[in-house]
Amino acid sequence: MAQVLEFKLPDLGEGLTGAEIVRWLVEVGEVVAVDQPVVEVETAKAMVDVPCPYGGVVTARFGEEGAEVPVGAPLITVAVDGPADEDGPPAGERRSATDGSRADGSRAEDARAEGSGNVLVGYGTSAAPARRRRVRPGQPAPSAPVASPTSVPSTANGRAATATAAAVGRASGAPDRAAEAVDGPVPVISPLVRRLARQNGLDLREMVGSGPEGLILRADVEYALRAAGTQAGKVRTPVAEPHPRVPQAPAPARVREPSQAHAPAVGAPAAPEAVRIPLKGIRGAMADKLSRSRTEIPDATCWVDADATELMRARDAMRRFAEECPRSPAAGGTKISVLALLARICTAGLARFPELNSSVDMAAREVVRHPAVHLGFAAQTERGLVVPVVRDAHTRNAESLTAEFARLTEAARTGTLTPADLTGGTFTLNNYGVFGVDGSTPIINHPEAAMLGVGRIVPKPWVHEGELAVRQVVQLSLTFDHRVCDGGTAGGFLRYVADCVEQPAVLLRTL
């Protein structure tokens, strides 16, 4: 006998409390295999395909695309094959629909000894949950005579004629037959199906569903309502409002004096209403994090202009050497990015000023200095701002940093970043110069302690070796948590970064 298992949204890790349904990958009635992805969701971190640990027939889906689903809420129900049970347990031992226990107080055995073994972040499938309800086969609901003389033909989709006849009888004014309903649980799992039937006055006990073991699906209720409207001569299906209206006393009318000079003209267009955009998904998570940063962190910002001419020349020299001497072991095969050079300068600066590679634990009233530099970088995507993290950036050279930046940027653009790619950063590099701006006061990426902002590199007048010249100038800004260090430490780090930008040979001292 088949049993219906409910698959709930698992904990996807990193303290996430819910997700948004982006796209369903299966339909009701479709057969799914164990560990087959059934829905694509968007968390506050990334897009995730959620696999189902059960194999069988999908009997219900919960939530439309775009809906927010909390962790632990049901996603789908799956009818899986179980051991045959022709006689079934006695009526006194039927499983409860709420707590899964028998009427005599004993607990039934688990449906399965072990699950699929697949593990998504934050949950496993070691055991299947107990079945929600046992639907006894061979108990069709008796149908009472229908008031309409027209017979109801059978349908090709397998829906029982008794369901249609019951709906037709009610739509045409037939007497209520609730007293003749079949005893025992109603084979319905979805609360949406129950609500739809209740709003339209349809008794589910008089229906036989087309799902496994007579399970009543939403499609069965909708078909019965359409058939009832056709047989009773109705054009549309009655749909009740989601919430009953409560009569309210009319508000007193405001009488406008005819002498008012600003009275609107007759037929004037109404003023446009404000548009409300929900803060959810990545934008909602970023809003929470930025608000928390501004609330908890006493930040301060310092900035300096730097002559990046020599840094750009060094980058061009590396590119030319790779083109002219491709067989040289020192040539390399990757074009070094400016962001990678700046990241290498940052890691060298953090080695000298480790106070900025830390976080604050206010519960313990401690400053936590991190031994490794996990460098985040801001990336703007169509879905909002994300901050991918380069792990162990302090151990990487410019070529490795360039390759990792390219990989994470592409993943951010396609929406395939994992939660691990977006968490665990200890310092952030924000290159807002790509937007064509010179300066900014960055907001620290909580719970980090500092962020370096880099503006655009543009030709500007600059005094070089005592003479006015046109040089490639960039503005650097550092926002830091004043709890972890004083201005001297922050200024020393920023000055070191600026010196390395102006004279890249300074890095040779620490390589």
User: Distance between terminal CA atoms of the chain?
Assistant: 69
Q: What single string gives the DSSP state of each residue in 449-506?
A: SEEEEE---EEEEEEETTEEEEEEEEEEEEEEETTT--HHHHHHHHHHHHHHHH-GGG
Structure tokens at 55: 């194999």
d(Cα 167, Cα 206) in Å, to the nearest integer?
9
CB 351 within 8 A of CB 394: yes
Backbone CA torsion sign across 179, 180, 185, 189: negative
Strand pairing of 3-8 and 56-61? unpaired
Q: Where are the beta strands (DSSP E) in 308-456?
A: 358-361, 366-369, 375-377, 379-381, 384-386, 389-390, 427-431, 450-454
CB 401 within 8 A of CB 393: yes
The catalytic site residues sit at 482
Task: Tally the C-alpha atoms within 13 A of residue 16's C-alpha that lie toward its C-beta.
Answer: 34
Structure tokens at 473: 């100038």
| Length of the chain (residues) | 511
Q: What single string gives the DSSP state of each residue in 342-360?
A: HHHHHHHHHHH-GGGSEEE
Classify residue 424 by burial, with Cβ atoms within 10 Å: 0-12, 13-18, 19+: middle
Residue 357's nearest CA partner among 336, 374, 382 is 374
d(Cα 451, Cα 292) in Å, to the nearest integer?
16
- 3-class secondary structure, 93: helix
Please, what's the b/e burial string for 31-59 (b: 16 or more CB within 10 A of its CB; e: otherwise)? ebebbbebbbbbbbbbbbebbbbbbbbbb
Please, what's the b/e burial string for 205-220 (b: 16 or more CB within 10 A of its CB; e: otherwise)? bbbbbbbbbbbbbbbb
Strand pairing of 18-24 and 31-32? unpaired
Question: Distance from CA of residue 266 to its chain's centroid?
Answer: 48
Identity (one letter) of the amino acid at 414?
T
CB 494 within 8 A of CB 476: yes
d(Cα 108, Cα 95) in Å, to the nearest integer?
8
Residue 205's nearest CA partner among 228, 177, 225 is 177
The partner residues of 50 in beta bridges, in order of sequence, read 39
